[in-house]
Structure 1
Amino acid sequence: MVTLLGVYEINNASMIQILQSTDRSKKRGGSVVGHKYIRRDRWKGHERLFADYFAANPVYSLVTFWRRFRMRRPLYLRILNAIEAHDPYFVQKQNVAHILGLSPLQKMTSAMRILSYKVVADAIDDYIRIGESIAIQSLQHFCNSMIEIFGPEYLRSPTSIDIA
């Protein structure tokens, strides 16, 4: 007979195995012959996201924020700060031309939308202004960071007290 605890442990083990296998198969990035470059105006994507949800007077209310992200804004920002401190991938950097890259807010929001709404990585481009490959990378870094930061406390197997 399969118990709920057994299914939970199998699910966690499978998730960790998938994430570790994707880390081993990393390829070097770069320009691909024949691929078209899309100028996305990344900064406008960040500005819109910030103005809509995180500004002092956001466009959307806290109720709308909760409905779309399924958490309160302080929790969202706490997770963002923890991930940014843990993984340098989420720190906004400049390229050699001194152009700012994607903001941590864009990277985390893309990962959260993929997980929350079960959308493909390509569907996030319209609003957040982030490409498919970066959305997938953001998702991988987000999941790895969540496991490393919050895993020991929140992704543990339930205790007998939890079950009772």
Structure 2
Amino acid sequence: MLRYLAGVVSALLLVGAGVFLFRSSATGEVPPPPAPRAALAAEAEEMEGDDGPLPQASKLTREQRRFNRYDRDRDARITRDEYLASRRKAFAKLDANGDGRLSFDEWATKTIDKFAGADKDRSGSLNATEFATTAVRRTARPRPNCPPQQAPNEAD
């Protein structure tokens, strides 16, 4: 019974300590404001190497870069035509005869070519050996170059 009482008391002490720490970190010091741009520019001039200024990373976010790729006329708006331009290019690649329509053969041209390349005897069907040549070739992922782990000493 004494063990249970000790466990309850220790649990309450841990919860109290957690609340105390949470409140103390919530009302902690305010972080300093960011440095003014002039100070940052002065630091950048000091960091110049012998070959000139160090390269700077792009300040655009990933989403801003994606937006800029679509916004061809740089008017800060993406029109429907700009948004669909990549799809039009893909469609034009598939539309072999340029009639503005995709037939099944135009749409499935890669698969048709793959079948024709695998059908070595030109029989119009693939046997097991020919079919095996159509398998997707996957490359093995490179293993991470981690240093080998040493076994802990048994003497410790």
TM-score (norm 2): 0.21
Which has the higher relative contact order, 1 or 2, with Cα contacts under 8 A spaced 6 or more apart? 1
Greater fraction helix: 1
- Normalization by structure 1: what TM-score? 0.20
